[in-house]
Amino acid sequence: MEAALKTFFSSPRFAVAGASSDPSKFGHKVLQWYLLHSLPVTPLNPRVPTVSVRSTTYNTVASPASLPSPTETALSVITPPKVTLALLKEAKEAGIKAVWLQPGTFDDEVLEFARQGFEAAIAGMEEGTVGDEGWCVLVDGEDGLRVAGRKWKRGKL
């Protein structure tokens, strides 16, 4: 998993599929995590043109292919498993190389596709997560940044 973390966080850009303006949803919390760590992130949500975090509004993109540079983007996924599989197929076709499947976003079929279809796929329980529900950027993300040797600073929202 260390190699997957390094690959994921070595990406110059990030995207959050399932981004939301609702602070109670994980799509909001994960987007906010990237923003708080001053990482270049694009919210991905085909249902709304914008999402807000605190008092700032961000334009969304509708699909992985709509990202400014999909081949340079690592994708965090916060969608139901049936949506996740279709999303991963689009992401692979767009050239995304690394994905992070948050807890609850995958089933066995999704996990198998992710692990075979991408250079790096972070998901599940194995190999060192400190979370009790599986690898989660909110819990394991800072360790991943360190593994990748990525300097970050706590941003302000």
Domain ranges of the chain: 2-147
pTM over 0.75: yes
Whole-angstrom distance, CA of residue 104 vs CA of residue 122: 13
Give the residue from 82, 86, 90, 88 showing the smallest Cα distance to 107. 82
pLDDT tens digits along 122-147: 998 777 676 677 898 999 999 999 99
Q: Which CATH architecture has domain 2-147?
A: 3-Layer(aba) Sandwich (3.40)
Identify whether the C-beta of residue 43 lies closer than 8 Å to the C-beta of residue 105: no
Give backbone dihedrals phi and psi of 121, rounded to 5 degrees, phi first: -135, 120
Residue 148 has pLDDT above 60, yes or no: yes
Q: Angle at CA 110, nearest 5°, toward 33 and 31?
A: 10
- Residue 63 tokens read as 């699909």
pLDDT tens digits along 36-89: 999 999 999 999 999 999 999 999 999 999 999 999 999 999 999 989 999 999
